[in-house]
Amino acid sequence: MAHTRCHARRMDATSSNMSHPFCGIVPPHILDHLSRAQSSTISGRARRTLEHDALQRTRRRLTTVRGMSAPATARAGSDKPQRTIYDAEHKETLPGKKVRGETDEAGSDASVNRAFAGLGATFELYYKAYGRHSIDGAGLPLDATVHYGKDYDNAFWDGERMVFGDGDGELFRDFTTALDVIGHELTHGVTQYTANLEYLGQSGALNESISDVFGSLIKQYSLKQTADQADWLIGDGLLGPDVDKGTALRSMKAPGTAYDDDVLGKDPQPATMDGYVTTSQDNGGVHINSGIPNHAFYLVAVSLGGNAWERAGQLWYDVLTGGELAKDAQFADFAKLTIDAAKGRYGDHGEEHEALVKAWSQVGVTNNQGH
């Protein structure tokens, strides 16, 4: 069976190559669990997905990905998205056949329309909330490919475009159906052009968590939801009709509770450092331990109330793009930078500072001292 860990290129002192993983939205531990299912249909699909992902990782190892900062000046016209959607026609050749451009009207293919809308919603949150011109900060065109492969149970950002499988229709639905999934994967692109967090251990879990944070914020912004109104689920609506006990891939509100199903297994995410998982799988548990910073963000957002993208999201964005977040940052490093960002933006004694100190302490990353 193929390895289930996401592969990351690691940058040494003489290389300009960026560490950027290939990893889909479906956590490797789910696909690994499914690959051992008694049903040959389920296990076969999972193995094919794993094998595909392993091949994609090999291709990525042979491809140099730029690790440079985005240009300081946005290109003309970069205040509007430039979207192009392609159809792979159930093949695995990218990008596929062009089916919709920025000025084209919506057609009859719902996957194309959802992908187009999801790219636009992601662009809108970053631009209107944070003044960011697309993924790279300078108006990068947004491309996506739908109908990738056959029964392909994943979606991913490959460093250049979004790629969506149709799912198998039983355990997973079409991956264009979840806006937060689109936002999550595109945010890997934002991280690629900014902090470029190493996809390993705690820095890798931060990489995943940041994508969950902004994926959730993109959905909340689109639905005009306050922090109290949001469901804080990642991938709500993505699980198919054959999943009896599951609501989503992850829960930021209550990590470890998104699913507990005979087929999918049990959600392994911890909410605090007491449950931190030490493992050699999944690049050191990046999809598992991301539950800890996820929960910290949730606690900050609901404590502050209102629209989560405004204050809590602003501070996470400040840290991601501020230039001080090291590629190998640990949870405590990130926590300190968010607290420093709150001091700089809102003052030493504001409720933002208090909410951050309390949240990071509550999840066990800090001990409430030295703040």
> Which listed residue (185, 198, 208, 352) is catalytic?
185
CB 9 within 8 A of CB 20: yes
**Whole-number Cα distances in Å, 293 to 124, 149, 250, 334:** 25, 33, 13, 9
DSSP string, 73-91: SPPTTTTS--EEEEE-TTS
Q: Alpha-carbon torsion 177, 36, 246, 7, what sign?
A: negative
Residue 263: strand, helix, or coil: coil
Judge whether 287 counts as a catalytic residue.
Answer: yes
Rounded to whole angstroms, the Cα distance separating 28 from 57 reads 13
Rounded to whole angstroms, the Cα distance separating 172 from 105 reads 28
Angle between helices 201-223 and 331-346 (to 10 degrees): 50
> Which listed residue (20, 147, 184, 287) is catalytic?
287
**Whole-number Cα distances in Å, 285 to 206, 246, 276, 278:** 11, 21, 9, 7
Phi, psi at 261, each rounded to 5°: -125, 145
CA dihedral angle for residue 57, residue 58, residue 63, residue 68, rounded to 10 degrees? 40
Judge whether 353 counts as a catalytic residue.
Answer: no
Q: Which helix (H) or strand (E) is 250 found in, with range?
A: strand 250-251
Burial of 35 (0-12, 13-18, 19+ CB in 10 A): buried
Looking at the annotation, which residues are catalytic?
A: 185, 287
